[in-house]
């Protein structure tokens, strides 16, 4: 039996080891705080959405290198003839899903296929890319249980009107960033499929027309 005197000199257990704070008072440090953040790494490694994103990044990187090695998207028609649009469209979609700009392909469509055909190819490519990125946001939402983490998001992010059609259409016009903010975030936030589909279809029209016009020579790029 431990005497009262001996108890005074007993060391605290691992679960209740005192940790001196700035105020000079000890606080209890739990065993969870002392563990390395390996759980988060394992969760990321097991999430299919993470590997899909990595796959698209790798594919986009090598695709851009391949396009540059053959002389750029402007030579697609010369090298592949009538089947060139069947190569241009998938290339456009894959690059649009990555942080790499896809405007060069959209502009080249204007010079290769004419204004009207390029508008359709640009619109269809960007719209399909938006649907895929939206679905990727949905997948990420399931993988990380975003519904349970919504209260932990930054206040500015929670205040964004992600479900509003005006946001989905107008914010898309922000160069580079808008194309990802208005596609991935709505999917992760649980925006309704039907609303996103028609908003994305409208949102990609201005960029499709502008890039096709530049490629077709109807609009001169900033000089």
Q: What is the pLDDT of residues 7-37, one digit of tens each?
A: 444 544 444 444 444 444 444 343 334 445 5
26 is written with which tokens? 């000890």
Q: Give pTM, 2 decimals.
A: 0.73
pLDDT at 106: 94
> Are 98 and 57 spatial neighbours (Cβ–Cβ below 8 Å)?
yes
Instruction: Compute the mean pLDDT over every residue in the chain, rounded to the nearest whole number.
Output: 79
The counts of H helices and E strands in the chain are 14, 2
pLDDT digits (tens, 9 = 90+) for 85-136: 899 999 999 999 998 889 999 999 998 999 999 999 999 999 999 999 999 9
- The CA distance from 83 to 76, in Å, is 9
Residues 6+ apart with CB under 8 A from 171: 178, 181, 182
- The CA distance from 96 to 125, in Å, is 8
């Amino acid at each position: 039996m431990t005497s009262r005197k001996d108890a005074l000199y007993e060391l605290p257990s691992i679960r209740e080891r005192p940790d001196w704070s700035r105020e000079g008072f000890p606080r209890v440090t739990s065993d969870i705080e002392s563990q390395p953040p390996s759980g988060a790494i394992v969760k990321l490694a097991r999430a299919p959405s993470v590997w899909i994103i990595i796959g698209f990044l790798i594919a986009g990187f090598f695709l851009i290198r391949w396009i540059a090695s053959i002389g750029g998207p402007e030579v697609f028609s010369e090298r592949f003839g009538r089947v060139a649009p069947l190569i241009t469209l998938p290339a456009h979609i894959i690059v649009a899903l990555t942080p790499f700009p896809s405007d060069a392909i959209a502009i080249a469509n204007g010079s290769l296929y004419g204004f009207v055909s390029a508008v359709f190819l640009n619109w269809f490519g960007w719209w399909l890319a938006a649907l895929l990125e939206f679905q990727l946001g949905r997948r990420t939402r399931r993988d990380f249980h975003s519904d349970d983490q919504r209260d932990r998001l930054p206040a500015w992010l929670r205040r964004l009107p992600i479900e509003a059609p005006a946001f989905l259409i107008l914010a898309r016009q922000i160069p580079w960033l808008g194309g990802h903010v208005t596609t991935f975030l709505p999917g992760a936030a649980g925006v309704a499929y039907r609303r996103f589909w028609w908003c994305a279809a409208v949102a990609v029209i201005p960029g499709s027309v502008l890039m096709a016009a530049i490629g077709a020579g109807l609009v001169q790029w900033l000089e």
